[in-house]
Amino acid sequence: MQGTIESILSRRSIRNYTSKPVARTDITMILEAGRWAPSGLNNQPWKFIVVQNRDTIEKLAGCTRYSSIVKGASVIITVFLDTSTMYDRTKDVQSIGAAIQNMLLACCELGLGAVWLGEILNNKEQVNLILGTPKSLELMAALAIGYPTGSKTTSLRKELHEIAFDELYGTQWR
């Protein structure tokens, strides 16, 4: 089992998966991780729809230019903002982001690959039709999840001195 910091530093967006199905217990753990994200006033403004049916996954794939990623996943978790329970849009959207990050970290720790898909938001009305959601649910993201094909991905980050400052903007972090 990895520690939190190790999971944060080793997590990568994984876009290619094997055909091995993801265990329901692992999906439940991913949802639990999302559920325990912080939210303003503890209002928990999220709803998650887990999609495993291949026909539904095919339909969702038609809603994004990243269809091959969606089709290759064993599980798609769609993440919605429940506008009927939100109290502050900015804070609630930030909470949704925290829930998504928790789920991505859980995937990493469980040995699963996952990627946060945002481009699908361009067709959120179609996604809502496919999933039969009420108008009060606003699509925030879809997570494609599966067992990685094994190819490790690398990623670069800006150096801290480029993005962090000591006390005042322009005073480089050292």
Residue 146 lies inside a defined structural domain of this protein: yes
Burial of 145 (0-12, 13-18, 19+ CB in 10 A): buried
Residue 85 lies inside a defined structural domain of this protein: yes
Domain of 132, CATH number, reads: 3.40.109.10
Residue 174 lies inside a defined structural domain of this protein: no
What pLDDT is recorded for position 136?
98
| Segments forming the whole domain that contains residue 25 | 4-163
More confident residue, 69 or 172: 69
Rounded Cα gap, residues 133 and 138, in angstroms: 9
Q: Give how many domains the chain has, as a whole number.
A: 1
DSSP string, 98-153: HHHHHHHHHHHHTT-EEEEE-GGGGGHHHHHHHHT--TTEEEEEEEEEE-B-SPPP
Residue 170 lies inside a defined structural domain of this protein: no
Residue 45 lies inside a defined structural domain of this protein: yes
pLDDT bucket at 174, cuts 50 / 70 / 90: confident
Tell me the per-residue pLDDT of 11-42, one tens digit each, with 9 for 90 and over: 898 899 999 999 999 999 999 999 999 999 99
Residue 152 lies inside a defined structural domain of this protein: yes
pTM (predicted TM-score): 0.93
What pLDDT is recorded for position 38?
97
Residue 90 lies inside a defined structural domain of this protein: yes
Q: What is the mean pLDDT of the chain?
A: 95
β-partners of residue 113 are 146
Residue 32 lies inside a defined structural domain of this protein: yes
Tell me the per-residue pLDDT of 85-96, one tens digit each, with 9 for 90 and over: 999 999 999 999
Residues 74 and 21 sit within 8 Å (Cβ to Cβ): yes
Rounded Cα gap, residues 53 and 106, in angstroms: 22
- The answer, yes or no, to whether residue 151 has pLDDT greater than 80, is no
Amino acid type, 169: Y
Amino acid type, 6: E
What pLDDT is recorded for position 124?
97
DSSP label at residue 29: H
What pLDDT is recorded for position 1?
61
